[in-house]
Amino acid sequence: MSPRYLTLQNKEAFDFFDPIIGDNKAVFETAGSLGNGERIWVLAKVRGEIRVIGDDICAKYLLLSNAHDGRGSVSVKFTPIRVVCQNTLMLALESGEKSHNIRHSKHMQNRLQNVQELLSLIWKTFERAEELFQILAKVPVNAERFDTYLEAVYPSPFAITCRVMIPTSRLPRSMSEMCPRLIREA
């Protein structure tokens, strides 16, 4: 660790949320620590939700993650992912909107206060996400488009994807052939 490294105590991490919790703009949802406390997170559920289409809704969260091992920074991020474990924490930190990262230094508290000014962006960020989700929900998906999507996400050959030795003659000709029920119900 650098001699300039300063810790952010867990209480201080929770204090970051006081203005939005106090204004009833959010409520604490989850918090946790990983390992022997090397990394902690605090997740607040922001008021309202993103309505994709019909009853398909997506929650809005504000995440603060902090590393106590000297290798990471304090990260603040808006996410639709409910963090409950290391897997969901990593998913939330690595996907979607960019995190606001703050080094553990003497300026950390000031920078955390500046990040709070970014909270005004939360509404714009979530409004834009809702618009994009609604656009995507209106895109018709037929078998060909579904195959194209699945091939991009899970490239062929299927035997390698499945990590199983399957005779080529027994492989489906397309991804949608593997999932006919999914295509019918989509």
pLDDT in tens, the chain (186 residues): 556 666 767 777 677 777 777 778 888 899 999 888 888 899 999 888 888 988 999 898 988 888 877 777 778 888 889 999 999 999 988 887 666 666 655 666 666 666 566 666 777 778 888 899 899 889 888 888 888 887 777 766 553 444 444 455 555 555 556 555 555 554
Peptide bond into 19 cis (omega under 30): no
How far apart are the C-alpha atoms of 63 and 78, rounded to whole Å?
6
Cα–Cα–Cα angle for 184, 52, 59, rounded to 5 degrees:
120
Residues 137-173: b if buried by 16+ CB within 10 A, e if exposed: eeeeeebeebbeebeeeeeeebeeeeeeeeeeeeeee
Tokens linked to 174? 């397309």
pTM of the model: 0.67
Instruction: State the pLDDT at residue 159.
Output: 39
